[in-house]
A and B are shown apart, each in its own frame.
Chain A
């Protein structure tokens, strides 16, 4: 007999009241946001792939030194920040407020370092004459700058928002205003931003290493 015909309260996780997989609304909301945001990034990355494939001789200007070395360092810093984030969440669930805040601050510092190094990258490219509508490497591929600044810019915006978000969480958790759940949900966002970089780094940097 199906439960539509059956009269009485159904005792399954899907019968209401309790949430499936015991996820609370805040965490579910963050997961849903991540799904939607990943579609925005996917659309941008696919657009990038589309124009890149359509353009003969897409510029590949990045030298191993300094551009790739720098961006590898950025990747390392961002990945490390994910580790400190995990340790922070762990400390939060163990109830160690001091340790949590310390790990969160370490994460924030990594985030700021990432944005800082990235900003020098931007300055270098702008100095070489790259604009959203033109570049010195191949005038027939004007979208090089647009895609580079668009993709990395949106990602940098996400990291910056993440830094502010983590600062608020660290402050609130230190004061006892927020729970370990809050720290965990902010961690989901941080790892997601990190993961997006793992797509942008190879697609924007590694595929554009100077072949010479």
Chain B
């Protein structure tokens, strides 16, 4: 506080000089806004690749014998299918669901929403992005090295991932690059998380108490804490796995393992150790993907319902509770690993207890909508879609949290449907809501509303058409990761359902072109955005669109009230921004 000079409610900083030269400004920039956009574009590239991979998978499931021009040998092999599974999962989870909401929007808007000129460690921020970029290069390189991409799934389960080429194509160079990529990603995310936490704690504007933080900031803050604690453990796992593969150790490989009729020289290790290390990271990772989306949904619902978030405190505490519980439930990914029923029971009860804060959030979202003057703009549609998908996907989680039921369903499409709805598509809807909502602030232009709405309806209906039938395939015994189920007797009759899902997937995939066209067209030709086009209340709407280099153009706002003061009785406008001094609020006489 001592270094800030108070002048009539806002603080004055020394101006930050804009860097000159293209490279300093756009490539190796230390400006959190540029870095945010870099993360966003990285995620956009990754999501396009990820969608293409999933479409190839859907295609292969229905037409396994089709001749494809870009596949060596014409027909896709089972291993190539598994490579698609692995790369789709890895790219989507790490480089889309982790990168876009936290690295992209978190980087861009966390400092602005708390009234800070930049992150606490701008240079560290730049380092985080470039290490993430390097990790992305590594994972993409896995496609082109001899043997191709790895086939051990996004979970990299040992011993499949620990033995090298003998376990299959892609398990040589491809798997090594995968581990390298994930380890680099861990390192980058660690540094990023550290930066987010320090920024949120240290750089809040005067008056921005914790209970006045926008819920988006709560989401990013708790996500960063999860990242700080989880990525370090996966990093340790990555180091050990790399040692297993290249230094001849066998942390994760048991004695007497025979692969392709060859006895492996390794002994003494345990594949379960990898599962523990991986899921101790992997479960918090689920919340790393979804918590920022929850924050964005709360933020957008409140803005377009013109009502305060119902139960703000409960919402903030629920985010913390979900983050805390997220660290104690990793065992529910391992119910079928032969764990003791007592451990299974404990993990099951803890897992179901996450339903409590999740239900608090859902009820409060509905409470926010209740009786509001709802404006159905595109960001609002995607936020509503988020709530719908989160509930639909979350409910099946209650079934999977029972060890007895999970034993039945674990290896089936039921699990695939569950996590795609609740973690994949819901988080993507959070990203879309954030993109449509903040595009005017980030790029100074409005996106096209009708195109946005078409995009929403295709994606919303499409997502349900793809993933709802998947539950039934799972209950009917459809085993996931099978490259071709048409030859399996008891699964053959499910092929028409697969066909329906594949057609839905292609239509939904094609509908994303509405988004891409809208995005790039609006970037250049969209109507100019004003400072505050949505009549919203948080600090990012107090500055120009796009914001100047130091975010607020030399002056810094003070904060006088909570983040969601909509439709306040007695006020003339239906919103009172956080930065408006109490004396300046126009009241009805």
Give me the interface of A with B, judged by CB distance under 8 Å.
2-10, 12, 14-20, 23-25, 28-29, 32-33, 35-37, 39-44, 47, 50-51, 54-55, 131-133, 140-143, 145-146, 150, 154
Closest A-chain residue to B280, C-beta based? Answer: A43
Cβ–Cβ contact B250 & A146, under 8 A: yes
B209's partner among A10, A36, A51, A133 (CB-CB below 8 A) is A10
Given contacts A5-B562, A35-B229, contact A28 B202 (CB under 8 A): yes
Cβ–Cβ contact A17 & B205, under 8 A: yes
Q: Is B147 an interface residue (CB 8 A)?
A: no
Cβ–Cβ contact B202 & A19, under 8 A: yes
Q: Could you say which residues of chain B place their CB within 8 Å of the CB of A5? A: 562
Q: Is B385 an interface residue (CB 8 A)?
A: no
B236's partner among A23, A25, A47, A145 (CB-CB below 8 A) is A47
Q: Could you say which residues of chain A place their CB within 8 Å of the CB of B267? A: 140, 142
Given contacts A9-B559, A16-B208, A19-B201, contact A50 B232 (CB under 8 A): no
Cβ–Cβ contact A7 & B560, under 8 A: yes
Interface residues of B in 496-528 (CB under 8 A from A): none
Cβ–Cβ contact B1 & A17, under 8 A: yes
A9's partner among B121, B247, B560 (CB-CB below 8 A) is B560
Closest B-chain residue to A55, C-beta based? Answer: B268
Q: Is B403 an interface residue (CB 8 A)?
A: no
A44's partner among B124, B209, B211, B236 (CB-CB below 8 A) is B236
Closest B-chain residue to A131, C-beta based? Answer: B248
Given contacts A29-B195, A40-B233, A50-B273, contact A7 B248 (CB under 8 A): no
Q: Is B477 an interface residue (CB 8 A)?
A: no
Cβ–Cβ contact A15 & B207, under 8 A: yes
Q: Is B24 an interface residue (CB 8 A)?
A: no
Q: How far is the CB of A29 from chain B (nearest CB, A)?
A: 5
Given contacts A15-B209, A54-B270, contact A32 B202 (CB under 8 A): no
CA A133 – CA B229 in complex, angstroms? 30
Interface residues of B, count at CB 8 A:
61
Q: Is B338 an interface residue (CB 8 A)?
A: no
8 pairs, A vs B, C-beta closer than 8 Å: A10-B207, A23-B202, A28-B202, A29-B121, A36-B190, A50-B276, A51-B269, A131-B248
Q: Is B561 an interface residue (CB 8 A)?
A: yes
Closest B-chain residue to A32, C-beta based? Answer: B194
Cβ–Cβ contact A40 & B235, under 8 A: yes
Q: Could you say which residues of chain B place their CB within 8 Å of the CB of A15? A: 204, 206-209
Q: Could you say which residues of chain A place their CB within 8 Å of the CB of B236? A: 39-41, 43-44, 47
B251's partner among A3, A12, A19, A143 (CB-CB below 8 A) is A143
Q: Could you say which residues of chain B place their CB within 8 Å of the CB of A145? A: 249
Closest A-chain residue to B267, C-beta based? Answer: A142
Cβ–Cβ contact B190 & A3, under 8 A: no
Q: Is B4 an interface residue (CB 8 A)?
A: yes
CA A39 – CA B366 in complex, angstroms? 38
Q: Is B492 an interface residue (CB 8 A)?
A: no
CA A24 – CA B121 in complex, angstroms? 12
Q: How far is the CB of A19 from chain B (nearest CB, A)?
A: 4
Cβ–Cβ contact A36 & B558, under 8 A: no
Known pairs A4-B211, A17-B1; list 16 more (Cβ under 8 Å).
Answer: A3-B211, A9-B559, A20-B201, A24-B202, A25-B121, A25-B199, A29-B124, A39-B229, A47-B273, A50-B276, A51-B268, A132-B243, A133-B248, A133-B249, A140-B267, A141-B268
Q: Is B237 an interface residue (CB 8 A)?
A: yes
Cβ–Cβ contact B249 & A132, under 8 A: yes
Interface residues of B in 224-258 (CB under 8 A from A): 228-229, 231-233, 235-237, 239-240, 243, 247-251
Q: Is B210 an interface residue (CB 8 A)?
A: yes
Q: Could you say which residues of chain B place their CB within 8 Å of the CB of A9? A: 206-207, 558-560
Q: Is B373 an interface residue (CB 8 A)?
A: no
Interface flags for B551-576 (1: CB within 8 Å of A; 0: not) read 00000001111100000000000000
B233's partner among A3, A23, A43 (CB-CB below 8 A) is A43
Q: Is B259 an interface residue (CB 8 A)?
A: no
Q: How far is the CB of B261 from chain A (nearest CB, A)?
A: 22
Cβ–Cβ contact A146 & B251, under 8 A: yes
Cβ–Cβ contact A39 & B195, under 8 A: no
Q: Could you say which residues of chain B place their CB within 8 Å of the CB of A40? A: 232-233, 235-236
3 residue pairs, one from A and one from B, having the closest CB atoms = A16-B204, A146-B249, A43-B236
Q: Is B25 an interface residue (CB 8 A)?
A: no
Q: How far is the CB of B154 from chain A (nearest CB, A)?
A: 19
Cβ–Cβ contact A51 & B4, under 8 A: no
Q: Is B288 an interface residue (CB 8 A)?
A: no
Q: How far is the CB of B318 from chain A (nearest CB, A)?
A: 16
Q: Could you say which residues of chain A place their CB within 8 Å of the CB of B240? A: 44, 47, 150
B194's partner among A7, A16, A36 (CB-CB below 8 A) is A36
CA A24 – CA B198 in complex, angstroms? 9
Given contacts A17-B204, A19-B201, A47-B240, contact A4 B312 (CB under 8 A): yes
Q: Could you say which residues of chain A place their CB within 8 Å of the CB of B265? A: 133
Cβ–Cβ contact B250 & A36, under 8 A: no
A4, A19, A44, A132: residue with the most chain B Cβ atoms closer than 10 Å: A4
Q: How far is the CB of A125 from chain B (nearest CB, A)?
A: 15
Interface residues of B in 157-183 (CB under 8 A from A): none
Q: Is B60 an interface residue (CB 8 A)?
A: no
Q: How far is the CB of A141 from chain B (nearest CB, A)?
A: 6
Q: How far is the CB of B554 from chain A (nearest CB, A)?
A: 17
Cβ–Cβ contact A150 & B207, under 8 A: no
CA A102 – CA B207 in complex, angstroms? 44
Q: Is B493 an interface residue (CB 8 A)?
A: no
Cβ–Cβ contact A14 & B202, under 8 A: no
Q: How far is the CB of A147 from chain B (nearest CB, A)?
A: 8
Cβ–Cβ contact A50 & B229, under 8 A: no
B198, B203, B269: residue with the most chain A Cβ atoms closer than 10 Å: B198
Closest A-chain residue to B124, C-beta based? Answer: A29
Given contacts A50-B273, A146-B243, A150-B243, contact A17 B206 (CB under 8 A): yes
Cβ–Cβ contact A133 & B228, under 8 A: no
Q: Could you say which residues of chain B place their CB within 8 Å of the CB of A18? A: 1
Q: Could you say which residues of chain A place their CB within 8 Å of the CB of B560? A: 7-9
Cβ–Cβ contact A7 & B120, under 8 A: no
Cβ–Cβ contact B561 & A7, under 8 A: yes
Cβ–Cβ contact A29 & B120, under 8 A: yes
B270's partner among A32, A44, A51, A131 (CB-CB below 8 A) is A51
CA A132 – CA B313 in complex, angstroms? 52
Cβ–Cβ contact B249 & A36, under 8 A: no
Closest A-chain residue to B120, C-beta based? Answer: A25
A43's partner among B203, B207, B237 (CB-CB below 8 A) is B237
Q: Could you say which residues of chain B place their CB within 8 Å of the CB of A4? A: 211-212, 312-313, 561-562
Q: Could you say which residues of chain A place their CB within 8 Å of the CB of B120? A: 25, 28-29
Cβ–Cβ contact A143 & B269, under 8 A: yes
CA A18 – CA B559 in complex, angstroms? 14
Closest A-chain residue to B582, C-beta based? Answer: A7
Given contacts A36-B194, A47-B240, A51-B270, contact A132 B202 (CB under 8 A): no
Closest A-chain residue to B210, C-beta based? Answer: A14
Given contacts A7-B561, A29-B120, contact A43 B268 (CB under 8 A): no
Cβ–Cβ contact B562 & A14, under 8 A: no
